[in-house]
Amino acid sequence: MHRFVFWILFAMVTCFVLRILIVLDLNKRIYNHTPGPCRVLTEKYKGTAGLTFVESQKRVYVTLGYGKSHNMTTKTGIAFYNTNRTDGRSQQEMHDLIEMTINWNGYEHQNLFIPTGIDSFASSNGRILLYVINAHPDHECIHFFQVDNQKLNHRKSVCDSSFTSLQDLTVVGPDRIFFTNMAAFGRGWAQVVEFALQTGQGVVYYYDGSKLSIAAPTVNAPTGIGYDSKRRILYVGSLIRESLLAYKVAKDMSLDSMYEMMLLTSPIGLFVESKSGDVWIAAHPVLHESAWHYSNPERKNVHSSSQVLRIRIQEEGNSWVTTEPYANDGATISASSAIVYTDDQMIIGSSFGRLLHCDLTNSHIT
């Protein structure tokens, strides 16, 4: 009996160790390539972790300073990059990042603002609304802003004690959002054990403008999230399963699971093209590098590989084609966490460093 119990425990421990080794991507290697010429837009902020594109303005809004949530010294805030190349600006001005001022309207926790995930809503009358996740470990919330040219006016915040590791959000209407909470534990060894056991305690929340509810419980480490408004499909990335989950969004905003795309890389940020429905993914392809990088973000010799995938959903909706427009070993951009594509331009954000801009020379085959 003792021998039988020993071998059962040995098998369980072996399976656990093998599962961890597979999750850490110890067998992977990244080969650098780009879709065209690339340039660094900025590297003075410790993190450009969130991006959103507003078509009517030709602006990409960028969250700055995510590294502060990992005890790095950096300025935090929101800026924008103008993608319009036909407005007569000089070559230098075309690559400028413009910081925005924030009117907090008396909000008492403004000094705890560390923005990360971001999305936007443009109304028919020209009103632009931004929704931003605050990653401060002591004050995880979602902030609502209205854009006034180069200023932001704070409208309200949504906070809850269940918010332990907010990651990303996507807008489905004015003040209506889906967003991800990656794990039951915020960080540290408790979160590591949770990921290793793959207990699936992540959650997708839905906020309807006044009430908070759980849209999808027990999701395995949900990260990036994006919404295809034409097909009414919600995409959710899974860090540990290295996959993309697809949900059909009903009229009452409930979710019906459709399928899971296995990516063999950990998705962090999503961007869904409004016209084509293509899904762009900023990913961490080698997870053990990412884990070491997040533990030591200040060390310049510690990098995490970056990767961008493009998924073209076919017309019938149940098949897709995946390409890899960009990959880097971390020397140029480390830990890619956000992506925007527009007009043959690709902008890539990172967790603790640079914002990268690439021109796509052959976007139709990229």
Q: Is 308 exposed, middle or buried (0-12, 13-18, 19+ CB in 10 A)?
A: buried
- Residues at the binding site for Ca(2+) are 118, 168
Q: In degrees rounded to 5, what are phi and psi of residue 239? A: -65, -50
Q: What is the DSSP code string of 13-49?
A: HHHHHHHHHHHTTTT-----B-SS-EEEEE-SSS---
Q: By three-state DSSP, how is residue 267 classified?
A: strand
Model pLDDT, residue 314: 81
**H or E segment and range at residue 312:** strand 306-313
Model pLDDT, residue 177: 97
| Predicted TM-score of the model (pTM) | 0.91
Cβ atoms of residues 290 and 231 within 8 Å: no
Cβ atoms of residues 178 and 170 within 8 Å: yes
Domains of the chain, each with CATH number or no CATH: 1-359 (2.120.10.30)
- Residues at the binding site are 118, 168
Model pLDDT, residue 351: 95
Residue 167 identity: Q
Model pLDDT, residue 45: 92
**H or E segment and range at residue 323:** strand 320-328
Residue 68 identity: K
Model pLDDT, residue 317: 67
Model pLDDT, residue 37: 94
Pairing mode, strands 101-103 and 151-159: parallel
| Angle between helices 189-197 and 2-23 in degrees, nearest 10 | 110
Number of residues that this document lists for the chain: 366
**Per-block average pLDDT, block size 10, for the chain (366 residues)?**
76 68 73 94 93 96 95 94 77 79 94 96 93 95 96 96 94 96 73 64 93 93 95 94 95 94 95 93 92 87 94 81 95 96 95 94 78
What are 189's two structure tokens?
């060894």
Map tokens 């008396």 to a residue.
106
What are the residues facing 166 on neighbouring strands?
181
As a whole number of angstroms, the distance between CA 128 and CA 152 comes to 10
